[in-house]
Structure 1
Amino acid sequence: MKLSQYGYDFSPEMLAKYPAENRDESRLMVVNRATGTIEHRIFKEITDYFGEKDTFVFNDTRVFPARLYGNKEKTGAEIEIFLLRELNRDLRLWDVLVDPARKIRIGNKLYFGNDDLLVAEVIDNTTSRGRTLRFLFDGNYEEFKQTLFRLGETPLPRWVREQVEPEDAERYQTIFAAKEGAVAAPTAGMHFSRHLMKRMEIKGIEKAFVTLHVGLGNFRTVDVEDLSKHKMDSEQFIVPEQAASLVNATKREGHKVVAIGTTVMRTLETAVSTGGMIKPMEGWTNKFIFCPYEFSVADAMVSNFHLPYSTQLMMVAAFGGYDRIMEAYKIARQEGYRFGTYGDAMLIL
């Protein structure tokens, strides 16, 4: 498969700028691989397709307020910092993106908050845009983290909306977000409400939670036509013993495993062993899934409608079948489905 095969007729008007009023009332396109049929439903009706002892696997990562605004020493130039990951807790070292990058050099100090509440020193240039910062803070670690996150802003992607609004702090997060570490939300999970989760429980549908801390690499532009030459950025993941046991039991008993989102699918396919069973493990994954690919774990998956040429679209096409998914995307455009982070969802059976 080539990069050029993942383009489609796209316009910015297709992107949802705001989420549905109720999480579970976005639209749901249901694509059946066995019959080739497509249905148009409401997301909360997803339980109609599953039964007792089927297992939904969720990503319980939590997005932290990763975007900060500050000023450069001496010149006072405005600087935007995007926190990517904590490198060293004790030394207060963070891997960050800086905009505009050309104004920042090693040794520069950056100031954040009123009265220079937080100061950072640039200690390394890691990439053309990336930097390593050492935050200078006299208090203990918890005080530092609270200050850092208080100054930060919800990292809603710019292509969704330029202006972050107060409700984004809650809506750009799943209701089961627990383990802090993502700079982008696992969007398929954002369609689940507490009411829907309760209905799943009543029906006997099981829930398993894995963690993959979504990084910006998940959205990095693919710039090679030959997809086998694209390298994904590594992202940290955890598959707990409880999740592995539940998924394995579900498979052994002949029930369905449902991956809620591409991040869950990447995690499951990273942790799978021979025979399609999941191993409890943690580490970093740079797994890149595109056609052709033989999936080992999930029987179904939920995903949002992704942008052209994105690695997420490539994975969805690998799972649902390239021709089928590209046709489904064409129908979605005709039917007015909303694309992107706050958009509608697709269930592939």
Structure 2
Amino acid sequence: MHVDLFDFELPQETIAQHPASPRDSARMLDLTGNGFADRIVRDLPDVLQPGDLLVCNDTKVIPTRITGKRGDATVEVTLHKQEAPNKWWAFARPAKKLRVGETFTVTDGFHAEVQEKRDGGEVLLAFNLSGNELITELWSHGIMPLPPYIRRTKGGDAAEEAEDRNDYQTLFAKEEGAVAAPTAGLHFTDELRSRLEAKGISFQTITLHVGAGTFLPMKVEDTRHHVMHSEFGVITQEEADIINKAKAEGRRIVSVGTTSMRLLESAATAEGIIKPFEGETDIFITPGYRFKAVDLLMTNFHLPKSTLFMLVSAFSGLDQMQAAYKHAIETGYRFYSYGDCCLLKCEADHA
């Protein structure tokens, strides 16, 4: 399909720079009935049904944007893909100041060797620390890798960073490894979770470590030529059993976010049975895809011509999503990671 089919005009002022407060006061465009219903996230207990199972991503964002030195030159790197316990692929700025074999130094006890370099400012860094020791140093010296459309004070502001360290994590965050938040989960609060559970709506977490590829623009004109980024995910046997039991009982599976959706669909058989999963997924969902695992999808509003807008168009129909986004723009919904959300039902062919 031609990528331009998934384009739309988005005014700059619709891009949210901070989340709604409280989180569950964000607006929610409900497409599960007839037409569009303007609601807020706090209405979820009135929209969902007893027995529904919400599947959420429990990945935790780590502060992977760090500033260091190569000699006297200052370089900022954003780690985006873990290759080994001590190795990460990173985007460097300015990349020309890092060459293979050179050392990138954050502090005396925290540094990395540049082992490979790719086009687009991408480098492979091998750190002198590994595993939890490396993660600890990132928490000490890094800042949250917010997407480029969220503007922050140049050079860093301690108060802003402290807010983002809290705001850019979901209620479910537990497994460290993401460099971007599974943003639909940002709308949940303890109070909302309690109200949903009181109605007989349950929760199950799975893990997909979201990568920076989420924000990369498509550089091809036809979706057939796009190479999808891969992300590491885990669904345990116990988690799969709980989801499959709900499906067998005729209960609806509600994916909280496209990351949960992509992992569930990656782990599902042709008959819709969820198998345990541990590994990389590069699933790319476009219109025509036959969904196997998910009945409803809660998701934020996505970028024009992005793989995620293609996914929601596959799930609920391109014409309906274009109309929904037009309605959202005209009625003041807030877009992207810190923005509002929509609740969709599967209109595509379903296993």
TM-score in terms of structure 2 length:
0.93
Q: Distance in 2 between matches of 1:200 and 1:56?
A: 10
Shift of 1:149: 2.5
Q: Distance in 1 between matches of 2:193 and 2:110?
A: 40
SS of the residue corresponding to residue 276 of structure 1 reads: coil
Shift of 1:117: 4.1
Shift of 1:93: 2.4
- Where does residue 95 of structure 1 map in the other structure? 89
- Where does residue 121 of structure 1 map in the other structure? 113
SS of the residue corresponding to residue 271 of structure 2 reads: helix
- Where does residue 326 of structure 2 map in the other structure? 330
Q: Distance in 2 between matches of 1:296 and 1:6?
A: 23
> Which residue identity does 1:160 align to in structure 2?
I
Pairwise mapping of residues 63-74 of structure 1 onto structure 2 (< 5 A)?
A: 63-73=61-71
- Where does residue 135 of structure 2 map in the other structure? 145
- Where does residue 272 of structure 1 map in the other structure? 268
- Where does residue 12 of structure 1 map in the other structure? 12
Q: Distance in 1 between matches of 2:278 and 2:65?
A: 27
Q: Distance in 2 between matches of 1:180 and 1:207?
A: 20
Q: Distance in 1 between matches of 2:322 and 2:83?
A: 40
- Where does residue 179 of structure 2 map in the other structure? 183
Identity over aligned pairs, percent:
39
Q: Distance in 2 between matches of 1:272 and 1:87?
A: 26
- Where does residue 49 of structure 1 map in the other structure? 47
2:128 to 131, 136, 140: 136
Tell me whether 48-57 or 260-269 shows the greater mean CA deviation.
Answer: 48-57
Shift of 1:4: 0.4
Change (3 A) 1:136 1:255: closer
> Which residue identity does 1:294 align to in structure 2?
R
Change (3 A) 1:331 1:103: same
Alpha-carbon contact 1:54-1:256 (below 8 Å) kept:
yes
- Where does residue 2 of structure 2 map in the other structure? 2
SS of the residue corresponding to residue 197 of structure 1 reads: helix
Q: Distance in 1 between matches of 2:291 and 2:202?
A: 21
1:212 to 202, 208, 211: 208
Q: Distance in 1 between matches of 2:57 and 2:205?
A: 6
Q: Distance in 1 between matches of 2:234 and 2:81?
A: 16
Change (3 A) 1:247 1:269: same
Q: Distance in 1 between matches of 2:26 and 2:329?
A: 15
TM-score in terms of structure 1 length:
0.93
- Where does residue 158 of structure 1 map in the other structure? 148
RMSD: 1.5
Deviation by residue 1:141-160 (Cα, 9 ceiling, x = unmatched) = 54443223211101111211
Q: Distance in 2 between matches of 1:3 and 1:98?
A: 28
**Does the alignment pair 1:111 with 2:109?**
no
Shift of 1:256: 0.8
Change (3 A) 1:274 1:125: same
Shift of 1:231: 1.2
Shift of 1:12: 1.3
- Where does residue 81 of structure 1 map in the other structure? 77
**Does the alignment pair 1:242 with 2:231?**
no
Q: Distance in 2 between matches of 1:266 and 1:60?
A: 14
Q: Distance in 1 between matches of 2:238 and 2:200?
A: 17
Alpha-carbon contact 1:305-1:346 (below 8 Å) kept:
yes
- Where does residue 249 of structure 2 map in the other structure? 253
Tell me whether 335-344 or 154-163 shows the greater mean CA deviation.
Answer: 154-163
Q: Distance in 2 between matches of 1:85 and 1:321?
A: 32
Shift of 1:59: 0.6
Q: Distance in 1 between matches of 2:233 and 2:135?
A: 22
Change (3 A) 1:189 1:144: closer
Alpha-carbon contact 1:2-1:226 (below 8 Å) kept:
yes
SS of the residue corresponding to residue 282 of structure 1 reads: strand
Tell me whether 61-70 or 2-11 shows the greater mean CA deviation.
Answer: 2-11
> Which residue identity does 2:275 align to in structure 1?
K
Unaligned runs of 5+ in 1: none
- Where does residue 199 of structure 2 map in the other structure? 203
Alpha-carbon contact 2:3-2:221 (below 8 Å) kept:
yes
Q: Distance in 1 between matches of 2:94 and 2:103?
A: 15
> Which residue identity does 2:288 align to in structure 1?
P
SS of the residue corresponding to residue 265 of structure 1 reads: helix
Change (3 A) 1:104 1:297: same
- Where does residue 27 of structure 2 map in the other structure? 27
Alpha-carbon contact 1:218-1:232 (below 8 Å) kept:
no
Unaligned runs of 5+ in 2: 346-351
Alpha-carbon contact 2:6-2:305 (below 8 Å) kept:
yes
Change (3 A) 1:246 1:99: same
- Where does residue 258 of structure 2 map in the other structure? 262
Q: Distance in 2 between matches of 1:341 and 1:142?
A: 27
Alpha-carbon contact 1:85-1:181 (below 8 Å) kept:
no
- Where does residue 349 of structure 2 map in the other structure? none
Deviation by residue 1:196-215 (Cα, 9 ceiling, x = unmatched) = 11111111111111111111
Q: Distance in 1 between matches of 2:88 and 2:42?
A: 39
